[in-house]
Chain A
Amino acid sequence: MLYRKSKYLWGLALISSFALIGCGGGTTVDSNPSGTTQNITLPTSFSVNDGRLLAANCAQCHGTNGNSVNSWDSIAGKSDIAGEFYEDENALMGAVAHGFTQNEVDNIASWLKTLPKNNNSNDDNDD
């Protein structure tokens, strides 16, 4: 499922350290917002992607590029999101899911599965 009812984390990582690493594909950001390692690559150019725009609706709860900073599930790299989207036992996720069509969910899933997972991100579905 997309959310987990597991350990409670408080202590906002308000001012965490970032480092810039130049690379051939743009600029890679090595961030450490709450003990996880997050690699964000800034692109050299803009390309249109409808799935990415729709999936941005997930980021408020599941983290930028699908990498959650706490025990709520990370969804980066997931290929099975379409199957579980409407059936999550978390009531809030169920409410949000109601507002998206199957075609939109497929678009979101197509984008999410391309995203790299954080080293310590929480993406298990066994609870």
Chain B
Amino acid sequence: MNNKNRLDRRDFIKYLSLGALFSTIPLSSNVATIPHVVVVGAGFAGSTCAKYLKLWGGDSINVTIIEPNSIYVSPILSNLVLNNQITTNQLSFNYDKHINSYQINMIYKSVSTIDSVNKELVLSDNSRVKYDKVILAPGIDFIKTNNYDFTKVPHAWIAGEQTNILKTQIDSMVDGDYFVMTIPKSPYRCPPGPYERACVVADYLKNSKGFTNSRVIVLDENSDIIVEKQNFQNAFNAHGVDYRPNCKVTQVDDTNKTLTYTEGSIAGKTITATVLNVIPNQKAAKIIFDTGLTGGGNFAPVNLLSYESTIKSDIHIIGDSHHSSQPKAGHIGNSEAKICADAVLRILSNNPLYQNPKTNSACYSPTSSTEASWLNAVYKYDAVNNNMILTDSSYYPKSSPSSTYNYREMFKWSENLFADTFS
């Protein structure tokens, strides 16, 4: 490395240490010659983006991640916690490699507000961090029907504590108890995920616990199974899942474990279960709304060549909070993150954006403790509509039926995906 970069990096580290003493970390093009890129949120999209910014940008940029949690629990494969195949510990990742290998600064706090005029982030402790570019990867937020307790009626759609709460509730069931889960209106995080969960839980209750009188009932706000229809229909039939489309939850009673819902045109229907797993409808995370980045919708519109907000400059949004035709999921979040990282590096080095980005979504879905299916699609940029669309809508989405072979392959897929994201 040359002397200039070495000095800049030393200055950078010095400033970071000073940041603990002063309220504003003085990182910006005004202070150092190296641009400062801040990534907010370190799930699949954020972790990948930060890593690839340094992998490709190296000494040309400084990268900071702001993330409240020191451990991330992957939602991918987390349904396998419910049926005792793995634990949340096996899905837990820290950021040691981001810090030590990729020289990324970690700040374990949350962002309260974004001052887009002065290009500063205000953190939960009122400290401030300057940025030249900020990349928001904050995931999802829920649209609750009413105020109820997530520890009594878990969503388990953000993995970790919620996953284990739902697992404990399922394990408390006795033969004859009902498990009722709801599927949110699309778009939501991980399109196959709820159907996968219904299959896994039904298989677990029937074939592992030996229950013959329990029922798994699925209330789907969508009018039909939205992905891998044949795969999940087959699994529902095999495991005895009672699937009901066009069912919109209107009220959750966490004391009596009763749902009120509308089925088709019939309002006011109720159902009570030992375990209620309501997966609420979803929207962009709070910071997206607070910063005025949604343009009136539930997700943030972006330029899909760079993922830069179409509303505010130098703010990029990747992953589940952005608006496009791409699914909201970890694998494609990883893919979007690389397009964004490359675009940010091109912008900062005064290079034109790549005009033909491709992203891919792949997802294995366990349908029992021994079988899994998969789903794949490849997306291309549509310049006319500023969208990412299927490269071949007559071919994609492509899926594979459930099999024991796919179940084994699923772990190889996840290992490499996890490593590409967190290692």
Question: Is B22 positioned at the interface, with any CB of A under 8 Å from its CB?
Answer: no
Instruction: Please determine whether A20 and B416 come into contact, CB atoms closer than 8 angstroms.
Output: no
Instruction: Please determine whether B57 and A43 come into contact, CB atoms closer than 8 angstroms.
Output: yes
Question: Is B360 positioned at the interface, with any CB of A under 8 Å from its CB?
Answer: yes
Residues of chain B within 8 A of A24, CB atoms compared:
1
Instruction: Please determine whether B416 and A27 come into contact, CB atoms closer than 8 angstroms.
Output: no
**Which chain B residues in 386-423 approach chain A with CB under 8 Å?**
391-392, 395-396, 398, 400, 405, 408-409, 411-420, 422-423
**Which chain A residues in 23-42 approach chain B with CB under 8 Å?**
24-27, 29, 31, 33-34, 40, 42
Instruction: Please determine whether B102 and A29 come into contact, CB atoms closer than 8 angstroms.
Output: yes
Residues of chain A within 8 A of B417, CB atoms compared:
60-61
Shortest Cβ distance from A22 into chain B, in angstroms? 8
Residues of chain B within 8 A of A40, CB atoms compared:
55, 101
Question: Is B58 positioned at the interface, with any CB of A under 8 Å from its CB?
Answer: yes
Instruction: Please determine whether A50 and B96 come into contact, CB atoms closer than 8 angstroms.
Output: no
Instruction: Please determine whether A44 and B2 come into contact, CB atoms closer than 8 angstroms.
Output: yes
Docked pose: A50 CA to B356 CA in angstroms: 9
Residues of chain B within 8 A of A63, CB atoms compared:
416, 419-420
Instruction: Please determine whether A57 and B416 come into contact, CB atoms closer than 8 angstroms.
Output: no
Instruction: Please determine whether A42 and B100 come into contact, CB atoms closer than 8 angstroms.
Output: no
Shortest Cβ distance from B89 into chain A, in angstroms? 9
- For this complex, into which size category does the number of interface residues on chain A fall? 35 or more
Instruction: Please determine whether B358 and A60 come into contact, CB atoms closer than 8 angstroms.
Output: no
| A-B residue pair count with CB separations less than 8 angstroms | 176
Residues of chain B within 8 A of A50, CB atoms compared:
354
- Interface residues as binary, B39-53 with A (CB distance below 8 Å gives 1, 0 otherwise): 000000000000110
Docked pose: A61 CA to B342 CA in angstroms: 20
Contact A42/B54 with A16-B423, A20-B101 known, Cβ cut-off 8 Å = yes
Question: Is A76 positioned at the interface, with any CB of B under 8 Å from its CB?
Answer: no
**Which chain A residues in 5-33 approach chain B with CB under 8 Å?**
5, 8-10, 12-16, 18, 20, 22, 24-27, 29, 31, 33
**Partner-binding segment picked from B105-113, B213-221, B331-339:** B331-339
Residues of chain A within 8 A of B423, CB atoms compared:
13, 16, 31, 33, 64, 69
Residues of chain A within 8 A of B392, CB atoms compared:
98-99
Contact A53/B415 with A95-B376, A96-B362, A96-B378 known, Cβ cut-off 8 Å = no
**Partner-binding segment picked from B140-148, B266-274, B310-318, B344-352:** B344-352
Shortest Cβ distance from A58 into chain B, in angstroms? 9
Docked pose: A119 CA to B342 CA in angstroms: 28
Docked pose: A72 CA to B411 CA in angstroms: 10
Contact A54/B358 with A40-B55, A72-B412 known, Cβ cut-off 8 Å = yes
Question: Is B150 positioned at the interface, with any CB of A under 8 Å from its CB?
Answer: no
Docked pose: A71 CA to B400 CA in angstroms: 21
Residues of chain B within 8 A of A31, CB atoms compared:
97, 101, 423
Docked pose: A57 CA to B331 CA in angstroms: 10
Docked pose: A5 CA to B354 CA in angstroms: 35
Instruction: Please determine whether A44 and B360 come into contact, CB atoms closer than 8 angstroms.
Output: no
Question: Is A52 positioned at the interface, with any CB of B under 8 Å from its CB?
Answer: yes
**Which chain B residues in 124-169 approach chain A with CB under 8 Å?**
none
Residues of chain B within 8 A of A99, CB atoms compared:
358, 360, 377-380, 391-392, 396
Question: Is A70 positioned at the interface, with any CB of B under 8 Å from its CB?
Answer: yes
Shortest Cβ distance from A78 into chain B, in angstroms? 16
Closest to B99 in A: A18
Residues of chain B within 8 A of A52, CB atoms compared:
56
Question: Is B60 positioned at the interface, with any CB of A under 8 Å from its CB?
Answer: yes
Question: Is B94 positioned at the interface, with any CB of A under 8 Å from its CB?
Answer: yes
Contact A53/B339 with A26-B1, A60-B331 known, Cβ cut-off 8 Å = yes
Contact A61/B416 with A14-B92, A24-B1 known, Cβ cut-off 8 Å = yes
Docked pose: A11 CA to B396 CA in angstroms: 32
Contact A70/B415 with A18-B97, A57-B335, A59-B420 known, Cβ cut-off 8 Å = yes
Docked pose: A24 CA to B6 CA in angstroms: 11
Instruction: Please determine whether B378 and A98 come into contact, CB atoms closer than 8 angstroms.
Output: yes
Residues of chain B within 8 A of A26, CB atoms compared:
1, 58-59
Having A14-B90, A40-B55, one finds 6 other A-B pairs with CB under 8 Å, namely A26-B59, A31-B97, A46-B60, A63-B420, A64-B55, A70-B412
**6 A-B pairs with C-beta separation under 8 A:** A44-B60, A53-B342, A53-B354, A68-B416, A92-B374, A92-B409
